[in-house]
Amino acid sequence: MTKVHNFSAGPGILPAEVLKQAAEACINFDNLNLSLLEISHRSKNYEKVMEESRAMVKELLGLNDNYKVLFLGGGASLQFAMVPFNLLFTEGTAGYVNTGVWATKAIKEAKLIGNTQVIASSEDKNFNYIPKGYEIPSTLDYLHITSNNTIYGTQMKEFPKTTVPLVCDMSSDIFSRKVNGNDFSLIYAGAQKNMGPAGATMVAVDETKLGKTGRKLLSMMDYQVHIKGDSMYNTPPVFPIYVTMLTLKWLKNNGGIPWIEQLNQQKADTLYSEIDRNSMFVGTTAKEDRSHMNVTFVMHKPELEVEFDKLAKEANLSGLKGHRDVGGYRASLYNALPLESVNALVQVMQAFEKKFA
């Protein structure tokens, strides 16, 4: 089979061995001669999957006993509402840092639920940098941040220091680098960018922060209900959770977070060095805020994009088209993307420069 270098921004690349195991489970799961897709989520065989998935998250994030891990449906977009429903007091205020499209959407949902304050934003420069040096009011019920921005290619290199509960959308860079999970009151992430397929969302929440807002919640919007039900208050997205478990096991078995952080640094350094060297391309974000997950760049001569696209297609490079809000190109370097693929992209960029510079 032809090797395709998959730079898709999401759903993103998964490890080949994980795809193989997942495919097998669709036919014969756990030697039951039944498909994973057709057994009860209440069976002991599947309960083991859920338990191991939650345990892997806690281990990789280094979470203490206060934290509960949930796997839910609805994507990170549902969390834009669940977070304020569960953490924003009826007479309180939530704080948000606006660093892109997804943060903007989270702010929109929070404003429908209660008092919401945008305390910092990079919208003034089309989100091409991460705000810094802003004041965080000590009266906030929580501060919401987005660690990595897939569309604009920025990433928080340091997280805010604050005494208020910190909430982070880590959808596109979770498990890509070392973080102290205990610094956050709540972390959420859609699986489809860096830890599994579309359809499951992971939430890790400090249980001591729940049940204090004075709100009456619908059961499906209440973290405490899902905690009590072990993420199975309703039928969970069984297959995405299983593939997430396999992906986290793949990560752990290869050396865990220290291993993948070093590899991700190498991939990012390789590509950014070429962008800065190559006379045909320029990066779109502030250098100090460049994402290690989503590398955005444009051409000095946009009229030549069609020529670059031809070379990329010939080299089996896939998923490089930039988001319409930025244009140009976006190479997503998620955990499962090998360094080989980055080198293939760099070779095409060099060949393009040699031909058209």
Would you say domain 256-356 falls under CATH 3.90.1150.10?
Answer: yes
The predicted structure's pLDDT at residue 244 = 98
Instruction: Please indicate whether residue 108 is annotated as part of the active site.
Output: no
Q: Report residue 2's pLDDT band, with 50, 70 and 90 as the boundaries.
A: confident
Return the closest-CA partner of residue 298 out of 320, 316, 318. 320
Count how many residues are written for the chain: 357
The predicted structure's pLDDT at residue 186 = 98
pLDDT digits (tens, 9 = 90+) for 28-68: 999 999 999 999 999 999 999 999 999 999 999 999 999 99
Do residues 121 and 96 lie in contact, with contact meaning Cβ atoms separated by under 8 Å?
no
Return the closest-CA partner of residue 251 out of 194, 294, 295, 203. 194
What is the architecture, at CATH level 2, of domain 16-253? Answer: 3-Layer(aba) Sandwich (3.40)
68, 102, 206, 250: which one is catalytic? 102
Domain positions in the chain: 16-253, 256-356
The predicted structure's pLDDT at residue 357 = 87
Average pLDDT, the chain: 97
193, 206, 209, 250: which one is catalytic? 193
What Cα–Cα distance (Å) separates residue 276 from each residue in 85, 90, 333, 346? 44, 49, 17, 12
Mean pLDDT of 112-135: 97
Structure tokens at 23: 């495919």
Q: Report residue 85's pLDDT band, with 50, 70 and 90 as the boundaries.
A: very high
pLDDT digits (tens, 9 = 90+) for 240-291: 999 999 999 999 999 999 999 999 999 999 999 999 999 999 999 999 999 9
The Cα–Cα gap between 82 and 33 comes to 38
How far does the chain reach from its first CA to its final CA, in angstroms? 34
Burial string for 259-279 (b: 16+ CB within 10 Å, else e) reads ebbebbeebbeebbebbeebe
The predicted structure's pLDDT at residue 3 = 84
pLDDT digits (tens, 9 = 90+) for 221-236: 999 999 999 999 999 9
Q: Provide the β-strand partners of residue 295.
A: 331
Return the closest-CA partner of residue 200 out of 257, 149, 242, 228. 242
Q: Measured in whole angstroms, how far is the alpha carbon of residue 236 from the centre of its chain?
A: 20
Q: Report residue 1's pLDDT band, with 50, 70 and 90 as the boundaries.
A: low
pLDDT digits (tens, 9 = 90+) for 100-110: 999 999 999 99
Instruction: Please indicate whether residue 169 is annotated as part of the active site.
Output: yes
The Cα–Cα gap between 51 and 113 comes to 33
Instruction: Please indicate whether residue 193 is annotated as part of the active site.
Output: yes
169, 206, 222, 289: which one is catalytic? 169
